[in-house]
Amino acid sequence: MKSFTIGEEFYLDNRPFKILSGAIHYFRISPDDWYHSLYNLKALGFNTVETYVPWNMHESQEGVYDFEGILDVEKFLSIAQDLGLYAIVRPTPYICAEWEFGGLPAWLLEKQVKIRSDDPDFLTYVERYYKVLLPKLAKRQLEQGGNILMFQVENEYGSYGENKNYLRQLKQLMEAQGLTAPFFTSDGAWQATMRAGSLIEDDVLVTGNFGSKGKINFSNMKAFFQQHDKKWPLMCMEFWDGWFNRWKEPVIRRDPEELADSVMEVLAEGSINLYMFHGGTNFGFMNGASARRDKDLPQVTSYDYDAILDEAGNPSPKFYALQNRLKEAFPDLDYREPLIKETMAIEAIPLKRKVTLKGTIESLSRPSTHFYPKSMEELGQATGYIFYSTQLPRDKEEERLRVIDARDRIQVFVDNQKVATQYQEEIGGDIMVKQQTELSQLDILVENMGRVTYGHKLEAPTQRKGLGRGLMADLHFVGDWEHYPLPLENIDAITYEAEWQEGLPSFYEFEFEFECQNPQDTYLDMSQFGKGVAFINGYNLGRFWQVGPTLSLYLPGSFIEKGINKITIFETEGIYQQGLSLKNHPIYKEIEGENL
């Protein structure tokens, strides 16, 4: 049986082993494309794949577990092993990963627990999850005939806390479920984060995260090791070969040759995990947000990351630049030609039906009435939208309305006319309305645009989504609200019998027939639509927004069925087209300036 140990070097079957790893998140890629991406990792010359495990996908509803389809981590690991790839798995409660709430399930927000701590209640939820998850991984460890080399204890904890008891208890929970492979932590490669986030005193390997200046960062790590009399191999657990993108900001690009130089600098001294090798897509509502003092900055649906493979899994210029350099330095590695998928385009897909949200909301949502508005979490909802409705008496000719503490984006309607759209920094500002009747219908659509993934705001009140404290008319809070949760997990219930009204949030159904056996990847052109989410045959492809930088949504060919296919658009701004197109390339909006 094979063995993997850590001494002054990594050892595979007692022989020195350099880890050449690339990050591929199974939950961001269609299962039909796992082989394609993993093969291309092997083709680059690499020997290991790394992946996170997202708690909030595997247990999106408390106590209900899902390991099917895109969440079948065991199948993903099996394909990797069949290709001759080893694996590094990061099954930590928190993953960051620019993923909704850093991978933590939103239902924790209603549990009154201190996340990422040794709070016994928090650890009880972690343990319950681990009892389901970890046995699936334990049997896939290298020494049990699988391909897993190492497990992560916590993720960049030194950028959040320094509770070593918490880290030790996580490790003990993992060991209790049969994990025996070496453990590691990963943090920024400087003294403060390594000291706070590691378990170096417990002989847990310390790895670093950075995207350049390999010699300097490894020098910092060596100095930290020396303080604790450790002679360990050096490894960059996250070498950032690109970066993620946020709405309204320009796409970040990195020069392929400069990247290759930086990677070779790391490989001259240690091992590497390229973050990302293949980024994939934040399908559904699973994009995260960057925390800022005054507001959060939601990330886009694409997780292309300007990575070694593009969003569809095809080699980018970085693949070839890096492979050429690897061949020079390590001529004996197993290099191959990468697999490349073709793309297709379909024009003029006709609009078949449309209906306003209010015209079908009773079929989509089970309403409840509460005097004070409830948050998304109080209603047992994790992501998506909530529609709030009440009656507003007319007290004077022009009324001042204010929405207090709603998150993240609101649209306010009076008698089915939109009177305001406000985003985080605008919420709370005056909304002046002139009511036409003595008693008006007042509706508010609230969108959760994604919870933060990293930093000090993980436990902040801003991560609880919905109407907040409510709506004020004049100087008083308005009560008696109808609540319509809209997670949009099942859009089959949409009915199109009601009349459509211009300018209101609406559903648009497009239909096309595909007769070929093997549909190719494509990109849904959303450049002529405002803001919302798109579905193919009921599957949520993710968010779109005309502010850019992305104006299309990646559509894997495996999501297209032979025969009739339905594309459903939920658009909130009243901006739509009578026809829809699928393009053979992504569409971007040119945005000047620098990312924050």
Q: What is the pLDDT of residues 513-570, one digit of tens each?
A: 999 888 999 999 999 999 999 999 999 999 999 999 999 999 999 999 999 999 999 9
| Long-range Cβ pairs for the range 335-340 (8 Å, 24+) | 335/43, 335/44, 335/45, 336/39, 336/42, 336/43, 337/43, 338/39, 338/40, 338/43, 338/44, 338/314, 339/36, 339/39, 339/40, 339/43, 340/314, 340/315
The angle at the Cα of 84, spanning 82 to 90, to the nearest 5 degrees, equals: 90
Q: Which of 50, 98, 100, 156 is catalytic?
A: 156
- Residue 579's domain comprises 346-353+491-583
pLDDT of residue 489: 96
Same domain membership, residue 140 and residue 247: yes
456, 479, 502 - which closes a domain: 479
CA distance 153 to 171: 6
- Please check whether residues 475 and 499 belong to one and the same domain: no
- Looking at residue 436, its pLDDT comes to 92
Environment class of 466 (CB within 10 Å of its CB; exposed 0-12, middle 13-18, buried 19+): buried
Residues 180, 119: contact at Cβ < 8 Å? no
Active site residue 156: yes
Chosen domain end from 458, 479, 500: 479
Pairing of strands 476-477, 368-370: unpaired
CATH number for the domain harbouring residue 451: 2.60.120.260
What is the CB neighbour count within 10 angstroms for residue 480? 11
Same domain, 503 and 469: no
**What pLDDT is stored for residue 296 in this prediction?**
94
- The pLDDT value recorded for residue 253 is 96
How far is residue 43's CA from residue 323's CA, in Å, rounded to a whole number?
Answer: 9
The DSSP letter of residue 192 is: H
Contact yes or no for 235/194 (Cβ under 8 A) = no
How far apart are the C-alpha atoms of 34 and 51, rounded to whole Å?
12
- pLDDT score, position 596: 42
Task: Copy the structure tokens of residue 17.
Answer: 């082993």
Structural domains of the chain, count: 3
User: What global pTM score does this model have?
Assistant: 0.97
Q: Which amino acid is at 303?
A: Y
Question: At 221, which amino acid appears?
Answer: M
Q: Are residues 302 and 178 in the same domain?
A: yes
Q: Based on the residue annotation, tell me whether 238 is a catalytic residue of this protein.
A: yes
pLDDT at 592: 77
Residues of the chain with pLDDT under 70: 593-596
- Beta-strand runs (E) in 57-138: 86-90
DSSP E strands, 416-462: 417-422, 431-433, 439-448
Catalytic residue among 50, 238, 377, 573, which?
238
